[in-house]
Amino acid sequence: WRKPPRRARVVIGTADWEAVCFSAPIVETYRDFDPRRHPILGSLGPDLCQPDVDFDECVRRMMSYDPAETSVAEVLLDQRVMCGVGNVYRCELLWATELHPWAKVGDLSRDECRDLVDLAHEMLRANVSRTARITAPSVDGGLAVYGRQGKKCARCGELVRVTHHGEANRVLYWCSGCQTVHTPSVTAPRRLIDDTPTDQHPAARVFAEPLDDAS
């Protein structure tokens, strides 16, 4: 073992392998596991990485989201709506659909919700076997906005911006020039709240420069 035995919480052994879980704060065991009865897993939305996704259920959960004033940027990260969308895909999805990140989820039409779900499924399935995410093949680096703060938008030429957003304080990249669908009356701050990257993606580690110096 690479860590002291006293830190082992679970050890599963077979004739050929031994799996060790170290320092787990919580360990759950089940005689017959049913994810529907799990307090967390039971509320998760459909898995977008699966080929047979229940798209209608994803749309239903998005359209019935409470409170309806929640920004679509936050809803996309809520795994109770649909599973699989992380921060990179969130930024890329919003850019691809031209949605303003602070658009209220309650303002989206059924067709707009379905477009988001369909595109999210397409992006995730296309990247299942890739080591590096590619959501915009025509853009250098494969990503349209994520990690591209201060660079020109591939669609409209405006600068890509970045800020912290939501309860999780994740970094959010977007283009203020062309992501204008459902722009709220109160828009995003023009400067970062702070310069501490909370996102663990490598591109997020270099995002700390404010962006309102070139508008």
pLDDT in tens, 64-103: 999 999 999 999 999 999 999 999 999 999 999 999 999 9
**pLDDT number for residue 25:** 85
Question: Are residues 48 and 35 part of one domain?
Answer: no
Strand partners, 174: 161
Question: Are residues 95 and 10 part of one domain?
Answer: no
How much is the average pLDDT of 9-20?
93
Q: Which domain holds residue 122?
A: 43-206
Tell me: the pLDDT tens digits for 145-183? 999 999 999 999 999 999 988 877 889 999 999 999 999
**pLDDT number for residue 190:** 47
**pLDDT number for residue 191:** 47
Strand partners, 163: 172
Q: Do residues 105 and 75 lie in contact, with contact meaning Cβ atoms separated by under 8 Å?
A: yes
CA atoms within 13 A on the CB side of 37: 7
The CATH number for 199's domain is: 1.10.8.50
Report the chain's mean pLDDT, rounded to a whole number: 86
The answer to whether residue 211 is domain-embedded is no
The answer to whether residue 88 is domain-embedded is yes
Question: Are residues 71 and 15 part of one domain?
Answer: no
Question: Are residues 87 and 28 part of one domain?
Answer: no
Give the CA dihedral 71, 74, 79, 81, nearest 10 degrees: 10
Model confidence at 24, pLDDT cuts 50, 70, 90, reads confident
How much is the average pLDDT of 32-42?
65
Question: Are residues 114 and 35 part of one domain?
Answer: no
Question: Are residues 77 and 11 part of one domain?
Answer: no
Question: Are residues 168 and 65 part of one domain?
Answer: yes
Total structural domains in the chain? 2
The answer to whether residue 18 is domain-embedded is yes
Q: Do residues 99 and 179 lie in contact, with contact meaning Cβ atoms separated by under 8 Å?
A: yes
**pLDDT number for residue 208:** 45
The answer to whether residue 143 is domain-embedded is yes
The answer to whether residue 14 is domain-embedded is yes
Q: What sign results for the dihedral spanned by CA atoms 163, 169, 173, 177?
A: negative
Question: Are residues 133 and 52 part of one domain?
Answer: yes
Question: Are residues 129 and 75 part of one domain?
Answer: yes
Enter the tokens of residue 35. 């994810």
Q: Do residues 89 and 116 lie in contact, with contact meaning Cβ atoms separated by under 8 Å?
A: no
The answer to whether residue 10 is domain-embedded is yes
